[in-house]
Amino acid sequence: MERWKGRVALVTGASVGIGAAVARALVQQGMRVVGCARSVDKIEKLAAECQSAGYSGTLIPYKCDLSNEEEILSMFSAIKTLHKGVDVCINNAGLAHNEPLLSGKTEGWRNMIDVNVLALSICTREAYKSMKERNVDDGHIININSMGGHRMVPSADEHFYCATKYAVTALTEGIRQELREANTHIRATCISPGIVETEFAFRHHNSDPEKAASVYESMKCLKAEDIASAVTFVLSAPPHVQIGDVQMRPVEQVS
């Protein structure tokens, strides 16, 4: 991670869970991390904790609604002005709604597409532009995907969410191919966790907290820090090594 010290990473959805763990890990490694979310209170608290811990990097909170393209573009403009640009883009933000294919509400589907697919694509495009403008040829785009992007979960509540994650799998490979066509050494990686113990299930099953809790009680789940370790592993790979997809799940998870 030595070569990343002092360089700029954007982490979306950095207020809780995987995003917060990734932001902390990168700050610990000496990076300047822009952590964005719709609310920055928790990111500000995390930034203070990182400073108190004496980490060599810094965490910069930024308020951004990723379902709004104008806010994303404004964020990248601010990063360019204040920090020159993005060297590493961690597309972590994602959400799920209980909206089955045969009875779900269009609003929920659209929100999942806006955040899980479109925001990821917009951030990737803008991060690549930032790298090219500054002749950065060793940047990295890391998409936090899901095992749901590789197999369909047998639950109607998850089907549309899985479809958006299948899109992330396809998008990551498409990004990799376009980066090769552009003759750049910028890399694209997809990290696909299974069940991770975060606030995700409680948000997904917000009307049934007992169901959410049962998801995590059924096995020894992955921790957000496990995913953060995977991110630093990917970034630590030699510049000539392309890690395409990291699939990881709890030992006890069946599918």
Q: Cβ of 216: how many Cβ atoms within 10 Å?
A: 16
Q: Cβ of 163: how many Cβ atoms within 10 Å?
A: 18
Catalytic residue, chosen from 55, 62, 128, 161, is: 161
Strand, helix or coil at 107? helix
C-alpha–C-alpha distance, residues 31 and 27, integer Å: 5
Cα-based torsion angle of the residue sequence 112, 118, 122, 128 in order, rounded to the nearest 10 degrees:
100
Cα-based torsion angle of the residue sequence 109, 112, 116, 119 in order, rounded to the nearest 10 degrees:
100
Strand, helix or coil at 160? helix
193 contacts 146 by C-beta, under 8 angstroms? yes
For the record, the structure tokens of 173 come out as 């490979």
β-sheet bridge partners, residue 195: none
Q: Cβ of 72: how many Cβ atoms within 10 Å?
A: 21
Catalytic (active site) residue 161: yes
Q: With CA atoms as reference, report the closest residue to 231 among 141, 105, 167.
A: 141
Largest interatomic CA distance in the chain: 52
For the record, the structure tokens of 36 come out as 């964005």
Just list the catalytic residues: 161
